[in-house]
Amino acid sequence: MTNTANTQAASVLQASVVRERRHAAARRQKIFYAVLLVIALLAPLAVYPVFLMKLLCFALFACAFNLLIGYVGLLSFGHAAFFGAAAYVTAHAVKVWGLTPELGILLGVAVAALLGLAFGYLAIRRQGIYFAMVTLALSQMVFFLALQLPFTGGEDGIQAVPRGHLFGLVDLGDNLTMYYFVLAVFVAGFLLIYRTIHSPFGQVLKAIRENEPRAVSLGYKVEQYKLAAFVMSAALAGLAGGTKAIVFQLASLTDITWQMSGEVVLMTLLGGLGTIFGPVVGAFLVVTLQNYLAGTQLPVTVVTGVIFVVCVLLFRRGIVGEIAARLKPRG
C-alpha cells in the first residue's frame, strides 16, 4: 500500500511540475508577443512605413503557407495564384467599382478562398511531389488568365489603385495610418492561424501530418480536413495579396508568377517549418535582403540562394526551429 501511495504521489507531483512548466512557458510567450506588438507600434517612428508594410504583407503570406506545409505536410507550389488573384480582384474592385478598401480586400479573400477550394478539390487526393506539381500547373493556368483577361491590364497590371477611406471615414492616403491598418490586418491573420493551430482542428491536422493512415483508422475524414486547411491557407494568402495591392496601389504579374510561390517556400524554410513565428522571421530576412541588395551590383537571386543553402546546412530546422530546440528543457 505504501509503495502504491508513493507512486501515486510521485505521479501527481510530476503532473503538477509539467503543468507549471506549461503555464510558465505560456506566460513567457505572452510577454514575448506583447513586447513584439509594442515594437511594431513604435517601428514606423524609426523605419520607413512602406517598407514595414511590405514586411508585414509577406510575413502574413508566409504564415498562411506555413499553415499548410508546416501543420498538414502539404507542399504547394501554387500559392502565388491566391496571393496574385486576390491582389488583382482587390485592385479592380477599389479602382473601377469604387469599393472601400476593406470591402475590396474581403472580395479578394473570397475569390482566393474559391480558388483554393477548386485547387484543393483537384489536388488534395494526391500526395508528395504529385500534389506540388498539380498546384504548380493550376497556378500557371491562373497566371496565363491574368495575362490575357482584359481587366488585369496584361503586362502593365492595374496601376494607380486608390487607397481610399477605411469604412468611408479614415483616409489611408497617409503612410502612417495605412501602416497601422496593415498591422491590424497582420495581427488578425496571425491570431487566426495561432488559434487554429492550437484548436482541436489543428491537433487533427498535426496528426494527419505525422501519420495519415493512423488518422484515417481513428475515423477522421482526412480529405475534408486537408481541404479545409487548404482553403483557409488560400484565403489568408489572399488577405496578404489584397492588402499588398492597396499598400503599393498596384497589382501586377509579379504577384502571381511561380517565382512568388518559390519565395514563400524560401521564407518558410529559412524561418522554420512548423513553427508559429518562423515564417515571420524568414519573411523579414528575405524581404530585407532583397531591398538591401537591390541597391547594389550583386545578383539578388544568387546571394539569396547562397544564404538559403548556408542556413539549410547550419539550421536544419530553420532559424526559429533551431532556437526553440536549443531552448527546450531537457527531460
Residue ranges of domains in the chain: 48-257
For the entire predicted model, the pTM comes to 0.88
Per-residue cell: 148 = 490575357
Half-sphere exposure of 97 (CA within 13 A, CB side): 15
Q: Which of 239, 246, 243, 279 is nearest to 263 (CA)?
A: 279
For residue 61, what pLDDT is reported?
93
For residue 64, what pLDDT is reported?
92
Per-residue cell: 87 = 491582389
Q: Which of 232, 324, 223, 227 is nearest to 273 (CA)?
A: 324
For residue 65, what pLDDT is reported?
92
SS3 call for 79: helix
Q: Which amino acid is at 131?
A: F
For residue 14, what pLDDT is reported?
66
For residue 41, what pLDDT is reported?
86
Q: Report the Cα–Cα distance between both ends of the chain, in Å, rounded.
A: 29
For residue 189, what pLDDT is reported?
93
For residue 3, what pLDDT is reported?
58
Q: List the pLDDT tens digit at each of the 331 positions of the chain.
A: 555 655 665 565 666 666 777 777 677 778 888 888 888 888 888 888 889 999 999 999 999 999 988 888 888 888 899 999 999 999 999 988 888 899 999 999 999 999 999 998 888 887 778 888 888 898 899 888 888 888 887 788 888 888 888 887 888 888 888 999 999 999 999 999 999 998 888 888 888 888 888 888 888 888 888 999 999 999 999 999 999 999 988 888 888 888 888 888 888 888 888 788 888 988 898 888 888 877 777 777 777 778 778 877 777 777 877 777 777 655 4
CA-CA distances (angstroms) from residue 1 to 7, 8, 210?
10, 11, 41
